[in-house]
Amino acid sequence: MMGIKKIFRLLKKNNSETELTREQFKKLTNEIRSLTELIGKIWIANNEFQTKLKRIQEEMDHLDKILEKRYFSYLPEKKKKELKRTLIISKQELIRCIQEAPCPTERKQ
């Protein structure tokens, strides 16, 4: 019979593994890529910002290539957690950019 501590340890381990799967990372990279495309359409007049968005998209492309490689599964859990944390922060910052977007017209609605 398994002890309660062992059951909780197994549940915690399973939860952390499912959060750090390739699919989870692919989902995040796709969400970030979609947000950059949308923001690019909203902030079209800001060339500096467009350059940053392009760089973010290139980083997501690079991350997608890494996710396809076999060695991704060998990355330590700590590295995967840090990567996921930074992706979530990036996603939140992009959402904030959408919220702060300039009005598309100067005419009052």
Q: Is residue 91 one of the residues assigned to a domain? A: yes
Give residue 45's pLDDT.
79
- Please name which of 38, 39, 80, 41 lies closest in space to residue 63, comparing C-alpha atoms: 80
Give residue 60's pLDDT.
95
Q: Is residue 104 one of the residues assigned to a domain? A: no
Give residue 78's pLDDT.
92
Q: Out of 3-7, 18-22, 80-84, give the one with best mean pLDDT.
A: 80-84
Give residue 91's pLDDT.
93
Sequence-ordered list of residues with C-beta below 8 angstroms from that of 56, at least 6 positions apart, any chain = 32, 36, 90, 94
Q: Is residue 9 one of the residues assigned to a domain? A: no
Q: Is residue 55 one of the residues assigned to a domain? A: yes
Q: Is residue 7 one of the residues assigned to a domain? A: no
Q: Is residue 37 one of the residues assigned to a domain? A: yes
Enter the tokens of residue 21.
């799967």
Give mean pLDDT, residues 8-26.
66
Q: What's the chain's average pLDDT? A: 82
pTM (2 d.p.)? 0.74
Q: Is residue 54 one of the residues assigned to a domain? A: yes
Between 3 and 57, the more confident residue is 57
pLDDT bracket for residue 43 (50, 70, 90): confident
Q: Is residue 2 one of the residues assigned to a domain? A: no
- For residue 79, the enclosing domain spans 20-99
